[in-house]
C-alpha cells in the first residue's frame, strides 16, 4: 500500500442538488441549449452521462453552449425545459406515458431527440446473454419478465429518437444494428472536475514520496454493482494462487462482491469496503498498487466503457484488465498497464507485481498512464467532443424521420 495516498475518509455530498429554477436558468444561459434527461440523479449513469457532460460544457464559454439536467421529478413541468432546449438528450430512460409525452412535445416543437446509453441494455435479442453475464437467476420467470420489460422499454425510447450518443464505437455499432436508420456518435465516459482534482493530488503525493510503500502489496477490485461475480471469477483462481505464494499480498474488495471459491482460504488477507461515493472511491484506488478489471469476453462486456482503467490511472495506480474493446484501446500492454486474456491472469498479475517492486519502472508506467488519462478523459477536454456529437451531425435531423406517435 502507498503510504502517501493514505487519507481519512473525505466529507462528501452529492453535487447535483440544484433546484429546478436554478437548472432552468443554467439551461437558458447561452445561445445553444442542451437539456439532458435521466430517470433520477445518481452516482452511476447519471453522473457520467448527464452531470459530467453539463459540467464540461459550462466550463467552455467560447462554444456558446449551455446545458442542464432534468429527471422524472420534473416531468410535471416538462414544458419549462423542453421548450427552452435546442436538443433533448434522453439518457438511458425507460419508456412510459410521461416520457412519451415529453418526447412528443419535443418533436412537435422541432427539438431533435438523442438517446444516450452506456451499456448494451436496449435490445431484447441480447437479454439471455445479459442475464448469463450478470449471474442472474435464469430459472426465475420473474427475472425474465423484469429484464425483458426493462430492456424493451429502453429500446422503445431509443427508437423514438433521431440519433444516439454512446461511450464507444463498438456499442455505437450495436445501437445502429438495433435501430436501423439511427446514427450513433461517441462521447466517452470521463472524469469530473472534483474527481480529477482529487486524483491528481493523490497521484502527486505518491510521486513525491517516490512511491514509498508500507511493505504490504494490495491488489484492488472496485465493483459498482452486485452483478460482477462471473466477471471477477475470470481472475479469481489466479489471485488465490498468488496469495498462496506471496505473504505480502492483500486483496481489497470494494462494493458488493463476496469472496468465494479458492479465496476463502485467504479471508484474513481480504479487505472489505462498502460501495463508495466517487471521491472516496478514488482514495481507496490510490492506496493500492494494482487495480484489476477482469471481464468475460462477449458482446455485452465489449460494449462496456474503460472507466475502471482511467479512474485508476488518474490517481497513479496500475491496471490489469481483460482486453475487451475499450480496454485494449485504452491500455498499451506492458507500457501503461497490462492486458490479460482469461488464461493469462496469473502471468500478467505476476508481471504487474514485478513492476511494483521496481519503483523506477512503476513510476514511469503510471506516469505515462496518468498523462494519457488526463489528455483523453479529463473533464476539461470534452466540451468540443460533446458539441460535435450533439450539434455536428451526430444524429439525423428530426425532419428526416416520420413523426412518431406517442404510443409507438
**Sheet harboring 290-293: ordered strands across?**
270-273, 249-254, 217-222, 290-293, 318-321, 338-339
Helices (H), 314-382: 325-330, 345-356, 359-377
Which pLDDT does position 11 carry in this prediction?
Answer: 94
> pTM, whole model, 2 decimals?
0.93
Domain ranges of the chain: 31-187+382-400, 193-379
Asked whether the beta carbons of 271 and 191 are under 8 A apart, the reply is: no
Which pLDDT does position 395 carry in this prediction?
Answer: 38
Tens of pLDDT, residues 203-247: 999 999 999 999 999 999 998 776 788 999 999 999 999 999 999
Given the C-alpha cell 429554477, which residue does it identify? 21
Query: Which residues are registered as beta bridge partners of 89?
Result: 36, 114
Tens of pLDDT, residues 381-401: 999 999 999 997 433 333 332
Identical fold for domains 31-187+382-400 and 193-379, yes or no, is: yes
Low-confidence ranges of the chain (pLDDT < 70): 226, 393-408
Asked whether the beta carbons of 370 and 330 are under 8 A apart, the reply is: no
Fold of 193-379: Rossmann fold (3.40.50)
Which pLDDT does position 394 carry in this prediction?
Answer: 38
- CATH pick for 31-187+382-400 out of 3.40.50, 3.90.320, 2.60.40, 3.30.420: 3.40.50
Helix (H) or strand (E) holding 103: helix 97-108
Which pLDDT does position 121 carry in this prediction?
Answer: 98
Which pLDDT does position 256 carry in this prediction?
Answer: 87
Amino acid at each position: 500500500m502507498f503510504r502517501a495516498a493514505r487519507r481519512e475518509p473525505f466529507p462528501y455530498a452529492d453535487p447535483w442538488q440544484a433546484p429546478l429554477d436554478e437548472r432552468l436558468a443554467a439551461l437558458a444561459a447561452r445561445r445553444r441549449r442542451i437539456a439532458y434527461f435521466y430517470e433520477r440523479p445518481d452516482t452511476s449513469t447519471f453522473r457520467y452521462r448527464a452531470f459530467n457532460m453539463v459540467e464540461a460544457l459550462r466550463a467552455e464559454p467560447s462554444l456558446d453552449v449551455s446545458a442542464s439536467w432534468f429527471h422524472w421529478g420534473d416531468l410535471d413541468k416538462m414544458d419549462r425545459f423542453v421548450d427552452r432546449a435546442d436538443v433533448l438528450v434522453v439518457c438511458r430512460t425507460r419508456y412510459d406515458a410521461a416520457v412519451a409525452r415529453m418526447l412528443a412535445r419535443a418533436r412537435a416543437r422541432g427539438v431533435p431527440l438523442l438517446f444516450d446509453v452506456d451499456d448494451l441494455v436496449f435490445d431484447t435479442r441480447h437479454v439471455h446473454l445479459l442475464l448469463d453475464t450478470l449471474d442472474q437467476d435464469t430459472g426465475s420467470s420473474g427475472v425474465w419478465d423484469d429484464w425483458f420489460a426493462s430492456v424493451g422499454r429502453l429500446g422503445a425510447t431509443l427508437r423514438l429518437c433521431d440519433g444516439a450518443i454512446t461511450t464507444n464505437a463498438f456499442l455505437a455499432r450495436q445501437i445502429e444494428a438495433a435501430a436501423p436508420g439511427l446514427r450513433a456518435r461517441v462521447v466517452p465516459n470521463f472524469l469530473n472536475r472534483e474527481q480529477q482534482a482529487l486524483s491528481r493530488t493523490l497521484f502527486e503525493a505518491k510521486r513525491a514520496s517516490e512511491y514509498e510503500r508500507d511493505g504490504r502489496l494490495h491488489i484492488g477490485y472496485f465493483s459498482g454493482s452486485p452483478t460482477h461475480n462471473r466477471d471477477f471469477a475470470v481472475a479469481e483462481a489466479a489471485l488465490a494462487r498468488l496469495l498462496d505464494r506471496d505473504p505480502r499480498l492483500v486483496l481489497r474488495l470494494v462494493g458488493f462482491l463476496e469472496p468465494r471459491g479458492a479465496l476463502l482460504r485467504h479471508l484474513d488477507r481480504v479487505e472489505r469496503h462498502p460501495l463508495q461515493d466517487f471521491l472516496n472511491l478514488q482514495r481507496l484506488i490510490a492506496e493500492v498498487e494494482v487495480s484489476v478489471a477482469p471481464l468475460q469476453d462477449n458482446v455485452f462486456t465489449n460494449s462496456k466503457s474503460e472507466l475502471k482503467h482511467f479512474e485508476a490511472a488518474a490517481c497513479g495506480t496500475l491496471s490489469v484488465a481483460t482486453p475487451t474493446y475499450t480496454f485494449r484501446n485504452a491500455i498499451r500492454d506492458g507500457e501503461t498497464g497490462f492486458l490479460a486474456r482469461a488464461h493469462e491472469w496469473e502471468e500478467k498479475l505476476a508481471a504487474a507485481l514485478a513492476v511494483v517492486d521496481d519503483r523506477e519502472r512503476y513510476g514511469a508506467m503510471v506516469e505515462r498512464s496518468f498523462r494519457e488519462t488526463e489528455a483523453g478523459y479529463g473533464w476539461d477536454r470534452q466540451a468540443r467532443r460533446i458539441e460535435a456529437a450533439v450539434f455536428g451531425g451526430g444524429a439525423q435531423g428530426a425532419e428526416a424521420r416520420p413523426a412518431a406517435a406517442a404510443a409507438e
